[in-house]
């Protein structure tokens, strides 16, 4: 089934990990995808693979974010996937780290959404899917600022859903648990096998998720099958949210 034929999608952090899986899945469903990333080598290779477009973007540069979305749009689908975490207890963190985590994980979502919404409102259609985290619903030991940012993404998404339902626009969050990505593997290298075991043990299925499993949930929410779903947070976390 190619449910997204004729639609255009914008994906932040789309060059690797969950973002790359989302790009591939949306393209397989027929969408033309703009891949926004800092790693242009990976982004351009992926764009060649799926017949999409790669653009260099630092999501902390909010003016540039809005400019890129406006210049490459309009889009029927907006996927805010870019994210970053820094592990450590809150008392060991600094205001500069707080600002950076909030900029990447929350303020960038504001900027892309602000730029994409006017065209969606004019068209009377749009799908906004923000990649959050179960940390945004449950908190995170060693990731308090990240959890706060992802909690903000959930609240922001609900608000956008309330404001834009009358335009035929839906807004939802996909909340992954531990997913086998380069970012997670880097954390495991630092934390050791005990950390990996703890991550697996935090899920009811006792395993890590796969990027393709998150991408499948994103593709569903972007599809016509999810037309009556908005303001929701869908956990793709092996039952962590139960």
Evaluate whether residue 103 is within a structural domain. yes
Report the alpha-carbon distance of residue 138 to residue 37 in Å, rounded: 28
Q: Which helix (H) or strand (E) holds 219?
A: helix 211-222
- Can you read off the two tokens belonging to residue 176? 């992954």
Structure tokens at 48: 């060649």
Asked whether residue 142 is domain-assigned, the answer is yes
- For the chain, the domain total comes to 1
Q: Say if CB 37 and CB 68 are below 8 A apart.
A: no
CATH number of residue 96's parent domain:
3.40.50.720
Active site residues: 146
Q: How far apart are CA 239 and CA 209, in angstroms?
A: 11
Domain assignment present for 105: yes
185 inside domain: no
- Cα–Cα distance measured from residue 35 to residue 18, given in angstroms and rounded to the nearest whole number: 12
Per-residue confidence in pLDDT tens, the chain, 242 aa: 579 999 999 999 999 999 999 999 999 999 999 999 999 999 999 999 999 999 999 999 999 999 999 999 999 999 999 999 888 899 999 999 999 999 999 999 999 999 999 999 999 999 999 999 999 999 988 899 999 999 999 999 999 999 999 999 999 999 999 999 887 887 777 777 888 898 899 999 999 999 999 999 999 999 999 999 999 999 999 999 77
Q: Establish if 241 belongs to a structural domain.
A: no
Summarize pLDDT for 67-86 with one digit per residue, the tens. Answer: 999 999 999 999 999 999 88
Instruction: Indicate whether 102 belongs to any domain.
Output: yes
Q: Is residue 1 part of a domain?
A: no
Range of 158's domain? Answer: 8-178+211-227
Residue 43 lies in a domain: yes
């Amino acid at each position: 089934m190619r449910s997204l034929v004729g639609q255009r999608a914008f994906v932040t952090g789309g060059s690797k990990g969950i973002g790359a899986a989302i790009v591939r899945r949306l393209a397989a469903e027929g969408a033309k995808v703009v891949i926004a990333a800092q790693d242009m080598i990976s982004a351009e290779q992926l764009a060649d693979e799926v017949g999409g477009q790669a653009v260099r973007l630092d999501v902390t540069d909010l003016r540039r974010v809005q400019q890129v979305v406006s210049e490459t749009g309009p889009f029927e689908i907006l996927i805010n996937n870019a994210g970053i975490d820094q592990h450590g207890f809150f008392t060991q963190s600094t205001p500069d780290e707080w600002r950076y985590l909030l900029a990447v994980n929350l303020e960038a979502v504001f900027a892309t959404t602000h730029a994409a919404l006017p065209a969606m409102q004019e068209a009377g259609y749009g799908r906004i899917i923000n990649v959050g985290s179960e940390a945004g619903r449950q908190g995170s030991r060693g990731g308090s600022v990240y959890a706060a940012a992802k909690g903000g993404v959930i609240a922001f998404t609900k608000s956008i859903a309330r404001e834009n339902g009358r335009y035929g626009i839906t807004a939802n969050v996909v909340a992954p648990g531990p997913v086998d990505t380069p970012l997670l593997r880097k954390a495991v290298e630092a934390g050791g096998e005990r950390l990996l075991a703890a991550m697996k043990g935090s899920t009811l299925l006792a395993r890590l998720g796969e990027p393709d499993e998150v991408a499948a949930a994103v593709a569903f929410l972007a599809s016509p099958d999810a037309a009556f779903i908005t303001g929701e947070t869908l956990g793709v976390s092996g039952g962590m949210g139960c």
